[in-house]
Amino acid sequence: MRARIENEVLIINHEDLPEFKKGGSVVRNSYFWALRSIAGKSGRYRDWEYEPEVWLALARMLLSFAESGYLGYRETLLEFPPSQEQIPDLLRDVATWE
């Protein structure tokens, strides 16, 4: 998922977020609600925002869903642009450069 940090807020690109689908995969729908539950802002068709206070929970959640084997690697990995000078320590296990 494409991500960036602005003013100490992690922002995930809305095009890369999981979609909730009635009658869809239980795992994907659970993933959607789990990510949304800790987001500071999570509007429809908008980027979702995560404050530093929830980064540890976000990292644990991403690792857990990645290890489940039900979701693709790119769906559970934060991809930062090369212009992002540094990946925060709390997110290193679940992040990489684009």
The pTM assigned to this predicted structure is 0.93
pLDDT value of position 98: 85
pLDDT in tens, 38-75: 999 999 999 999 999 999 999 999 999 999 999 988 99
Concatenating the DSSP letter of every residue in 3-44 gives EEEETTEEEE-GGGS----TTS-HHHHHHHHHHHHH-SB--T
Mean local confidence (pLDDT), 32-39 = 97
pLDDT value of position 77: 97
